[in-house]
Structure 1
Amino acid sequence: MSDLHSINEAINKRAGRKLLPSIAVSLSLIALVWFALAYQRAIFALVVTIAVVLGIRELNKAFTAIDIHIPLWSLTTAAVGLCAATWFGGISGLAVATAIAFPCLLVLLLPRGTVNFVKTASASALALFYLPFLAGFLILLARPSNGLERVMTFVVLVGCNDTFAYLTGVLLGKHPLAPKISPKKTIEGLLGSLVFTIAGGAIAFHYIMGAEWWLGALAGLLTVFTATSGDLIESALKRDMAIKDMGNLLPGHGGIMDRLDSVLFAAPALWLALEIVRRAQDSGIL
């Protein structure tokens, strides 16, 4: 037991996270997603909405610490509106709701005056597009009748990327990937995630989606690029604001934003890939 404890402590120190709580939280989130999709897909849309609202609160707290005051309640209302519009109106609903919400946010900032207007407006726009807009693609993945299969395939892809980047980085990592942004991320971790996410994508597309394995391999490659980019972008935000985590709601992960970072950037890419595949199949190309 002492040896296992020592190994666990060594992994925690190397990765900068507590491994066992992180695994427990990840499995709980996967179970929640599966239950919501299997029971009623609209519940999944509600779960996404709640996560986005919590993420906006975390982002607001981080911005406030550096004297940027975004309109919390306006953004919360916009987030709920965007998520609802996406569920009921699809990609058109998401686009129109975003086009309405953005100018409304700017108008609601006018009573504050011109002091720091550009800074506040820019931060508000970042919050709007970073959270509810990108999260809308998670809802788009779940809307069709095969939403369970689509989202669980996405879970496999992102899970493979995050898990094997973590493991190979901890066990083999020596060369920093982006030392000025995220010192603990390594090139070895990236290569590990690349190999296992491509393999996971091939398996998931074949057995879950009933599609060609090579399409899954391409989706895996796309996921590694987008998910890793999302992770690095959130790390850049946190480093600029001089914080380690966006929150502490999820043990071993940090806040909601720390869990959504890779997901938000990977979801639009997978949705687009699945749309291209669907239209190609409908036209007889595939």
Structure 2
Amino acid sequence: MSARTALGRLTGRRAALPRPPEPGTVALSARGLGLRVGGTWLLKDVDLDLAAGSLLAVVGPNGAGKSTLLSLLAGDQPATTGTVHVGGLGVATAHPADLARRRAVLPQRATLSFPFTVADVVAMGRAPWAGTDVEDDDEDAIAHALTAAGMTGFTHRRYPTLSGGEQARASFARVLAQGASVLLLDEPTAALDLRHQEQLMRTARDCADRGQAVLAVLHDLQLAAAYADEIAVLHAGRLVERGEPGTVLTEPLLEEVYRLPIEVYRHPVTGAVMVGPRRHGKGTPTP
């Protein structure tokens, strides 16, 4: 029995299939979202809408609450306060298969207990569609995802034998194969070299351009500026700013959030927003 078939028996069931949201309409919505652990609020009072056909980058320093936010949006962790709806379903009460047909999640780290091949891992993304008419599209979806992630030459490799970057790309291919209208990506470029960072973000951008709603947690502000329609800045568990890259990426805001001298300027040829630490020669950033 294949990994996809086994998972499909657990998740597949007859149900009305979701319709992809129209471009520009809200595909995911959160209101008053918060998470408290012990006496500490890791995330508090977050309102967020994610539209079909857009790519939203969530940025902020370590500990700002980025991964916590993504986990709550995905329904992988129950919120202390607030609600999240994806494709009209409340994530707190939705059946796992119904939720998986609407949103796909790329965690920071994927842990597999068995030595599945890359082909098996990517096929797992099709499990939510087992027993539905969409199951007929499995092979095409898997092939397309492998190509988009640059993993066609790795199909027979065992997942544990891959490098960290190769594992990240295989996991991204699984997310693409899932065919959900909402993609939630947690630091998708962290383990990748420069070439594959650009490839992955171009693919995420293509997904948004084709009508999917994409949220990507990113540390690289330059990647966020280059590929996102909007950027949301988290700081100390709160959403402090959101808007187009040229509006949000300002030196005063970034210096306050990152506690580091920041330089923001426009590329002299393309006019693109450029951002990075303010340095003097080869030394450390100006204090």
Same fold (TM over 0.5): no
TM-score (norm 2): 0.24
Tell me which protein shows more strand as a share of its residues. 2
Tell me which protein shows more helix as a share of its residues. 1
TM-score (norm 1): 0.24
Which has the higher relative contact order, 1 or 2, with Cα contacts under 8 A spaced 6 or more apart? 2
